Amino acid sequence: MRGLTYSGPRDVRVVNVPDARLEKETDALVRITTTNICGSDLHMYEGRTSVEKGKILGHENLGQVIAIGKAVDRVKVGDWVCLPFNIGCGFCKNCERGLTSACLTAFPGHAGAAYGYANMGPYSGGQADLLRVPYADFNCLVLPPDAENKQNDYVMLSDIWPTGWHATELAQLQGGESVVIYGAGPVGLFAAYSAILKGASDVMIVDRHPDRLRLAEEIGAIPIDDSKEDPVDAVMKITGGEGADKGCECVGWQCHDPAGHEVPNDTMNKLVKSVRATGALGVVGVFMPQDPKAGDRLMQHGQIAFDFGEFFNKGLRLGCGQTPVKAYNRRLCALIATGKARPSFLVSHELPLDKAPDAYKHFDCRDDGWTKVVLKPAA
């Protein structure tokens, strides 16, 4: 089969690899028909992680089941399924609590496992023709009858939409409240989309890429271009000097200031300044335990200079971490099936798998119009 593999910094290649296969009786084998390039993939692509050469990337996956192990009971051959990027066992103490992003079984000795990602277990990713799905009965979200025709909608349930939704959950966003979101990449746009679906009043989103800000405005958010105005001042103006009720960080440690310099603490500290006293923050942008290649000395050790004094003085609350996709994907799936949501609005490019290396280059450069790339291995 073909797989998109990591060969070094900014070097990914579609090569022939051994076919994925059933390894345990609880596995399913899925023919991948739709798989996304995620912003998190770019951390590996840029050489900022310890991902090993030859790793098949891809953790946003959808396809059709072509084989199941003898112990798989619920999932059937022929089912269209979307796979959460988290691999959970379903029975450890964290999975039982719905915290599948911190499964204690799938990657022994670690809290959490995922497809095709650095330090998240031995599992291959789905930017390939086939994908082995462990604990298939638990991990497969069996999709409605319209799945084949709405793949670009349902594939967003694998990670990117639940992650945006999770940001608003961590921020404890309620209907009628205002929210500011730092980052209008795919996660930030889905945080804004989720906030709008939840009935938030003012949904403000901060970025500087015109294509992303245009998309934000199209879905009903208020775009703030931080290359043209101070985002904290803009939020204060919109909220009458009070600050947003809630805030979401959807960028992570590789955030840049308007001058193009990487400043790992920039969005976090601006978020603290942008949210009113007693508000709450949801942080889903990735922050790494260490990054030896970071230009910032603190971030080399996974640390940032955080304005904790102001955070404490304002009595803010903070939630963070990877999203437990299964906590949300079934409900979000229903919104797609009933026509209440169309998350495919984000898709800018639909390409065959062989075009993935070029797509990575464009997405990594934040080229205009490259907001979300969907790959089609079966095309």
Q: Are 224 and 206 in contact (CB under 8 A)?
A: yes
Give 358: exposed, middle or buried? Use CB within 10 Å, 0-12, 13-18, 19+.
exposed
Q: 303-353 pLDDT, tens per residue?
A: 999 999 999 999 999 999 999 999 999 999 999 999 999 999 999 999 999
Region 130-153: mean pLDDT is: 98
Q: For the chain, how far is it from start to end, CA to CA, in angstroms? A: 14
Q: Which is nearest to 122 in space by CA: 243, 16, 35, 24?
A: 24
List, for residues 33-92, the tens digit of each pLDDT value. Answer: 999 999 999 999 999 999 999 999 999 999 999 999 999 999 999 999 999 999 999 999
168: left (phi over 0), alpha (psi -120 to 50) or beta: alpha
Q: Where are the beta strands (DSSP E) in 234-307?
A: 244-249, 275-283
Q: Give the mean pLDDT of 248-259.
A: 94
> What are 1-16's pLDDT values in tens digits?
999 999 999 999 999 9
Specify the 3-state DSSP secondary structure of 316: coil
Q: pLDDT of 96-130, one tens digit each?
A: 999 999 999 999 999 999 999 999 999 999 999 99
Nearest to 289 by CA among 276, 298, 281: 298
Could you tell me how many residues make up the chain? 379
* pLDDT tens sequence across 173-218: 999 999 999 999 999 999 999 999 999 999 999 999 999 999 999 9
Instruction: Go through 295-328 and write b for each residue having 16 or more CB atoms within 10 A of its CB, e for each that does not.
Output: ebeebeeebbeebeeebeebebebeebbbbbbbb
In this prediction, residue 261 carries a pLDDT of 93
What's the pLDDT band for 379 if we cut at 50, 70, 90? confident
